[in-house]
Structure 1
Amino acid sequence: MAGIENDSTFVAPEGVYSLTEEYKPPPIHATTAGIAASFHSKLTTITVKFTPPKAGPQGLTSLLGGGKAVKEKDKKKGEELQANASGESDHELGGEELEPDIDDPSTPQQQQQLFSPTGLKPGPLTPRKKSVARPKHSIKTTSSSFVTRLHTMEGLTKYLGSKSGDVTFMFYNAGKSFYWMDVSGKLKEPLARISFSQFPTCHAVNTLTSSSTCLDVVIGFNTGDLIWFEPLSSRYVRINKQVVHNANQPMSLSPCTQVRWVPSSPTLLLASYADGTIVVYDTERQDAPFVPHDPSKPILPPTPAPAPDTDEQKSSNGSGSAGGASERMWNPLNEILVTSNGGPDGKALKNPVSHWRLTEKKSVVDFVFSPDVRYVAAISEDGCLRIIDALSETLMDVYQAYFGALTCIAWSPDGRYILTGGQDDLVTVLSPWEQRIVARCQGHLSFVSSVAFDSSRIDSRTYRFGSVGEDNRLIFVRSPFMFLIIVYSLIDSMLVGPFGRCIA
């Protein structure tokens, strides 16, 4: 059992945990405080490596032309190397310029196969794109009523240009604002603060594309809208602009409950909604009106195709059954209802890439990817954990909470276990490969709000994870699951970062 020494320090069996930094957003206006309380603040961190700043201005000798001979020699040598390289590679470029890199998961071919039942079988290879699309609208000069204000730190460009080494950025939402912080420096003020006309509910940073020159951030809102934001260039693109999700009822859009980038893709992302759906988007596609299948209507059997391998094709309802079946009603405990959005022969592809309905009306609270990005584990207010095969878009397994709804989820770094917390005040450990519940861990006196694995203390035999709840308790659990380490601390949520560092 651990103890609290003071408000900023508590002692655990492995050592002392101390409060290092504390960031407090400005108070929310009284008129919006009640609404904002239903959309909790969420926090994300990303560490990027900055190259050292370039050398300062040239000296007097260089300005007077003292190094002209050396420059001309280097220039001549560079021209010779360039000529030799172009002469040797002309034939190779002509033969391989349009060859797609099929091993690269970021190619359009692999992205189409990742979350599309029609992409399970090889299709025509598409040429490799030279660059990935970037956000094009300036958030500084936008006339959109959705973005109300942008406030950046004075001298932000100069400040970022002086950075070197590893820099940790933090993003979080509070009220109608979205904040960008530098936690590796001594600044207490945000690098940027964006105010919206609606409430941000969730966000995610693409770890695959993150660098000192690029940060891809997607933000979800209570209206169902998404914004793809690049903070370094202050540009953005609005996705699902009240035409894609619930297109048959555009005035009653469901709030976005979670959004995550596909870990192996620079452009694909998934968003979950309060109406019980998960939608797949591609930042390189344009939005278009889209009406998913109505869950209250019977599922029509798939139409047999004239191709000789018809028996291998999957149905579009996510069940994986072949044609020839009769009409039936959809059962959310047996399958997910999938509606794909693809043009003929891969042409005129629009957003969304695919639409998954998991429940009839209950909200999808959260979802996570397996470490191999093959499976998606989603939790919902109906108390069910669903394991989905993302490649075939089929429901693999369903687990039920002990009581009430599930509220949080995490997948172990080695893929062996899944953690869930819920309104039953329990942290449940499941093994998806053994298809069983390993343990139900007690200790909380109220709803569990967040769970996370501590990757720095995981080996072949032991696991360590933590949970926080609305009872202001932080609980560490180490396997074998009979042994508990309980730490009391006044926090609401947490992230476990590198080397076991907790960010609350």
Structure 2
Amino acid sequence: MALDDPVGTIADEWSVRERKETRDCFKTPEGRYNLGKTWRTKPASRRSTEPASARAMEAEYDARCKRRCVYAESGENAYVLVNSGDCVRVLDYDAATACKAVAKIGFHSGCVTAIAWREKGESDRYDLLVGLSNGEVWAIDLGRNVADKGRWVTAATRWNVEGEGVNKSRCNAVIWRPRSDEDILEPFDCVSLHADGSMYTYNSSRDGNKASFAPVVDMNILSVVASDAQGSNPMTRWHFGRSSLNAASFSPDSCLLTVVNGAGMCRVLDVSRDRPNIVAGFKSYYAGFNAVAWSPCGRYVLAAGESDMIEIWGMYEREVLAWGVQGHRSWVTDIAVDELATADDNNILRFATVGEDCRVVLWDWRVPVDDVFTEDDDALEDRVDRLSIGSSSRSHSRGPSFVGPDANVVQAARRNEVERLVPIMTHKLHTSPVTSVLFTTEAALTATVDSVKLWLRPSQRSRYARTITDDSVSDYCV
């Protein structure tokens, strides 16, 4: 390197600094996770000849447009999908392959802000949902788009075109509804959440007519209205107030839906009936929620956001049972439950969180003894009865619940009434804020605005005991 090459010198210094600040492995009770692969996902360059792409590029650098990471399968191939500017990049999941995009699915009308994938059934036309910054929602056949290798999307259905007649606010999330028993009424199979506080339901099996909804009368209250056009997509609009809807999650049996917003409200809706109603929920201890997830057993809700901590809420107890603390130093952006680790030990609920502090944090919450399920446990059969009671088995000295549609939503618990949970691992694994995390059978995936990392699970069991005590937590945290 020449002495008069300041650009190269700065690049070398930055490379050394990045290696010092981040790690290529981390330890857990079951062993060591090693970095198996890193994809660089810089946004595409601005193109002056394509105004739509230029607008998408501006949205890409908006802090509200977070990098999302999704694991998907198509045929015999496994992919990692990430949003990047006006396209969805399809990456080869195999750690042994080159770190190049297999395909890029582009969209003319805006920046990609939300993606979701589901396994394609025999009667399904689409398996990928994409939400855009202008409010549009696309249903796509991933396999056909990868095979076509075209620059722009094909084999797709477009809803809420440029927000005309429905919603022009940013789409923050799209979610597929899990498939359930045939005896449960399922008029819709996916939803989209928007920045103006509205959520829309869709039926992906039909293209649908152009939808039209009456204006919201009161922006501050819950309202549910159907489209004026029969057989349209979207089908219904659920408006939750002025605050932005940031995330949602279906329960494993698809009967319940949790929705969180920027005002710190976590609402649980019973969507098994024609008209949904709020059956439970809770207010955050501080500020807004950014992420939410269900436990595999369907009894606990995990939510986190601007309070820098994780709240574990019991569906039957109707109370916040634990707070995850000392893991993050800034806002939490995403939560993922490790169902594989949880299945190994029914007494432990393993989940991961990521945040704007560039950290990845792992948590193990010991489920109360009387909540551990067995094959003969009939507690799940009493779900409807327990939901209808609306009472709590605990005695938190909180304030009165809310009124109106939120009458079943409880106020935040006090500091001295909730169990404190400390992480089993917390490390700075990226140099940029981490916005997405998920688990697969072989690995964990974390994503930032400029990279996606694949962390391979331990190849052999660790000699460390499975039980974690407060004294041993420091072995896995810095």
Give TM-score, length-normalised by structure 1.
0.62
Structure showing greater radius of gyration is 1
Q: 1:11 Cα shift?
A: 2.8
For residues 462 and 12 of structure 1, the distance between their equivalents in structure 2, rounded to whole angstroms, comes to: 14
Q: Which residue of 1 is the match for residue 264 of structure 2? A: 383
Q: Which residue of 1 is the match for residue 223 of structure 2? A: 337
Q: Which residue of 1 is the match for residue 319 of structure 2? A: 436
| 1:210–1:216 CA contact under 8 A, matched in 2 | no
| 2:323–2:421 CA contact under 8 A, matched in 1 | no
| 1:257–1:366 CA contact under 8 A, matched in 2 | yes
| 2:332–2:354 CA contact under 8 A, matched in 1 | yes
Q: Rate the CA distance shift 1:350–1:27 in 2: closer, same or farther, 3 A.
A: closer
Q: Which residue of 2 is the match for residue 162 of structure 1? A: none
Q: Which residue of 1 is the match for residue 173 of structure 2? A: 258
Relative contact order (C-alpha < 8 Å, sep 6+): which is higher?
A: 2
Q: 1:496 Cα shift?
A: 3.4
| 2:113–2:133 CA contact under 8 A, matched in 1 | yes
Q: 1:342 Cα shift?
A: 7.5
Q: Rate the CA distance shift 1:260–1:244 in 2: closer, same or farther, 3 A.
A: farther
Q: Rate the CA distance shift 1:273–1:494 in 2: closer, same or farther, 3 A.
A: closer
Aligned pairs for 1:187-336 within 5 A? 187-197=98-108, 198-209=110-121, 216-234=127-145, 235-242=155-162, 246=166, 253-264=168-179, 268-283=189-204, 284-292=206-214, 294-296=216-218, 332=221, 336=222
1:485 maps to a residue whose letter is I
The equivalent position to 1:503 in structure 2, one of 430, 441, 445, is 445
| 1:254–1:274 CA contact under 8 A, matched in 2 | yes
Tell me, yes or no, if structure 1 residue 356 matches structure 2 residue 238.
yes
Q: 1:356 Cα shift?
A: 0.6
Q: 1:33 Cα shift?
A: 5.6
- SS at the partner of 1:232? helix
Q: Which residue of 1 is the match for residue 61 of structure 2? A: 37
Aligned pairs for 1:93-108 within 5 A? none
For residues 339 and 293 of structure 1, the distance between their equivalents in structure 2, rounded to whole angstroms, comes to: 10
Q: 1:289 Cα shift?
A: 3.8
Aligned pairs for 1:379-418 within 5 A? 379-392=260-273, 393-418=276-301
Q: Which residue of 2 is the match for residue 373 of structure 1? A: 254
- SS at the partner of 1:260? strand
For residues 276 and 5 of structure 1, the distance between their equivalents in structure 2, rounded to whole angstroms, comes to: 38
Tell me, yes or no, if structure 1 residue 23 matches structure 2 residue 47.
no
For residues 239 and 397 of structure 1, the distance between their equivalents in structure 2, rounded to whole angstroms, comes to: 31
| 2:178–2:253 CA contact under 8 A, matched in 1 | no
For residues 340 and 294 of structure 1, the distance between their equivalents in structure 2, rounded to whole angstroms, comes to: 12
For residues 267 and 386 of structure 1, the distance between their equivalents in structure 2, rounded to whole angstroms, comes to: 19
- SS at the partner of 2:38? coil
Q: Rate the CA distance shift 1:331–1:398 in 2: closer, same or farther, 3 A.
A: farther
For residues 264 and 83 of structure 2, the distance between their equivalents in structure 1, rounded to whole angstroms, comes to: 27
Q: Which residue of 2 is the match for residue 487 of structure 1? A: 426
Aligned pairs for 1:81-96 within 5 A? none
For residues 168 and 215 of structure 1, the distance between their equivalents in structure 2, rounded to whole angstroms, comes to: 17
- SS at the partner of 2:144? coil
Q: Which residue of 2 is the match for residue 470 of structure 1? A: 356
| 1:240–1:287 CA contact under 8 A, matched in 2 | no
2:59 maps to a residue whose letter is I
For residues 268 and 201 of structure 1, the distance between their equivalents in structure 2, rounded to whole angstroms, comes to: 20
Q: 1:231 Cα shift?
A: 3.1
| 1:292–1:355 CA contact under 8 A, matched in 2 | no
- SS at the partner of 2:59? helix
- SS at the partner of 1:233? helix
| 2:89–2:103 CA contact under 8 A, matched in 1 | yes
- SS at the partner of 1:21? strand
Structure 2 unmatched ranges of 5 or more: 1-19, 47-53, 146-154, 180-185, 367-419, 447-478
Q: CA RMSD in A?
A: 2.8
Q: 1:292 Cα shift?
A: 3.4
Q: Which residue of 1 is the match for residue 346 of structure 2? A: 460
Deviation track 1:269-288 (CA, whole Å, cap 9, x = no partner) reads 10011110110012304232
Q: 1:489 Cα shift?
A: 2.6
For residues 27 and 496 of structure 1, the distance between their equivalents in structure 2, rounded to whole angstroms, comes to: 22
Give TM-score, length-normalised by structure 2.
0.65
